[in-house]
Structure 1
Amino acid sequence: MNRPPNTTARAQAGVMLLEALIGILIFSLGILSLVALQATSIQLTSDAKFRTDASLLANRLIGQMWASGLNTAGLQAQFSTACTDCTTYNAWLADVQGIDGLPGVVAASGGVDATLPVVTVDNTGQVVITMFWRTPQMATSGANSSHRHVVVSQIVRNP
């Protein structure tokens, strides 16, 4: 038995609208995924920039240590974090905290964890520079409240 033509048309009513809505839904999910991918890409790019800046700033200080011609005791006195009146270290620290430096590099105060770089020079001439920075989205204290980059170098003069 064949159905009359208008019975078939009534059974198909709204199917094209449903297909269009499903197509729009799939397209919208694809666009939202691309937007999320772009946001993640921008965040990872800025993280890479900060890591590169931290590496360059640490290498600049190591270069200044090599160029200074100081022995291990002189390096400890002039470049370590324990140094109180070090013009070279303080100038480097100002670069780290400056406009072209790392974001969120601050001393500890009012419940905010310190993110100042730590420079240690041991008796064998091994230099360890630990750089910290905090992006605006990060918490100011607690676990995972800053990024960290560590540079280790050996500065020893020939006798």
Structure 2
Amino acid sequence: MNRPPNNTKAQAGVMLLEALIGILIFSLGILSLVALQATSIQLTSDAKYRTDASLLANRLIGQMWASGLTPAALETAFESGGDQYNAWLADVQGIDGLPGVVAASSGIDSTLPVVNVFNDGRVEITLFWRTPGMPLTGETTTTSCVVSRHCHRVVSQIVRNP
């Protein structure tokens, strides 16, 4: 009678250990995929905000071109506080506009768009926005784009042919 060698006790639990290591590797892969998806969703929403800011700025530049006004009249109508600026600002703050665009108040930094029109017809439009998780304070002045803040700056030249 041939008996197999008695090695079964030496290998007891090896299969369980292999299964646990396999489950660990599989779990790490799934967690990595979940983290990758969360990052891609955040980057997609950031890209949407940048695209919306670009479209809103280009819309204002189009309104400036279509108005036929001189640079001095453009400054009066379209710079911050002008009647055309206020109409455009309603679009920026509307449902399809940028999130978190508000005037400065107690404890909240301003994220209102800044429009500068110069005598040579040059126009600078700077839009700011807050993503849903951003704090309401701790940002720098609204006249410049810095790394810690979400902004989009457009510079254009509006000149009429004589």
The answer to whether TM tops 0.5 is yes
1:155 corresponds to = 158
Letter in 1 for 2:83: T
In 1, Cα distance between the equivalents of 2:148 and 2:29? Answer: 33
Mapped to 2, the partners of 1:78 and 1:67 lie a distance apart of 13
| One-letter amino acid matched to 1:114 | S
Give the Å deviation of 1:136. Answer: 1.2
Aligned-residue Cα RMSD (Å) equals 1.5
Shift of 1:87: 2.9
* Distance in 2 between residues matched to 1:116 and 1:127, nearest whole Å: 17
SS in structure 1 of the partner of residue 136 of structure 2: coil
1:57 maps to 2:56: yes
Equivalent residue, structure 2, for 1:26:
25
Correspondence list, 1:32-47, <5 A: 32-47=31-46
Matched AA of 1:157: R
Aligned identity (percent) is 78
Q: Which runs of no fewer than 5 residues in structure 2 stay unpaired?
A: 140-146
Unaligned 5+ segments in structure 1 are none
Higher helix share: 1
2:94 maps to 1:95 = no
Matches within 5 A, 1:111-150: 111-143=107-139, 146-150=149-153
Equivalent in the alignment of 2:68? 69
Note the 1:5-24 alignment, pairs <5 A.
5-6=5-6, 8-24=7-23
Deviation at 1:145, TM superposition (A): 6.0
Alignment length, in residue pairs? Answer: 153
2:142 corresponding residue in structure 1: none
> Deviations 1:41-100 (Å, cap 9, x if unpaired)?
00100100010000000000000000000000000010011x3xx332111100000000
Letter in 2 for 1:62: I
Give a deviation string over 1:14-52, Cα, whole Å, max 9, x none: 011000000000000000000000000001001000100
TM-score by length of 2: 0.90
Please identify runs of 4+ aligned residues in structure 1 that moved more than 4 A: none
